[in-house]
Amino acid sequence: MKRHVLMAVMLAAGVTACSSSNDANNAKNEVTTSGVAQQWQLTMIDQQAISAEGSPTLNVNKDMEVNGYTGCNRYFGKAELDNNRFKIDRMASTKMACAENAMALEQTMSQVLGQWSDASVRNNTLLLSNDAHTLVFTPVNSSKATDDPLLKSPAVNSRFNKGEKY
């Protein structure tokens, strides 16, 4: 009888240990606002590398406001995260015409960002994928132009705010 009770206790402990480790893994893999809130640069589409110069960007702040560059136009909107899914709600953009390859890149970016896509952050990369495409983003260098003390001068800021040329 004691053996049966001991076996039951050990079995229950084993099941509990397995389920708590699965919960820990699930929590570790959950995409959070703090995990995506940074500046990203697109490096791959559907396992094809994108050149670094002029490549698209995705900038997400802690309030999930986004903006970036599609390779042709600038865009902005408000991002949403729900059960490891990501989308930019009511995404708006400038409407410049560009070369055919830049327009194709923009269409792919807009399609993935504007619809619910599966999201994961692994090894310092952000993956967004849907039925049609997979986008891979890596963080932009921590040294940003906005960190440059010369760009923070009042004269430069007032010129940019007024749209004046320098």
Tens digit of each residue's pLDDT (9 = 90 or more) over 21-30: 443 344 456 7
Average pLDDT of the chain?
74
pLDDT of residue 31: 79
Whole-angstrom CA distances from 27 to 16, 18, 23, 32, 33 are 16, 14, 6, 10, 14
**Stretch 3-31: mean pLDDT:** 45
Q: What local confidence, expressed as pLDDT, does residue 29 receive?
A: 64
Per-residue confidence band for 158, with pLDDT thresholds at 50, 70 and 90:
very low
Arithmetic mean of pLDDT, 87-115: 91
pTM exceeds 0.75: no
> Cα separation of 123 and 151, whole Å?
32
Residues of the chain with pLDDT > 70, as a percent, come to: 66
Q: Structure tokens of 31?
A: 């995409």
Residue 40 burial (CB count, 10 A): 22
The string of pLDDT tens digits covering residues 102-140 is 898 899 999 999 999 999 998 889 999 999 999 999 998
CA distances from 23 to 11, 15, 18, 104, 151 (A): 18, 12, 9, 40, 46
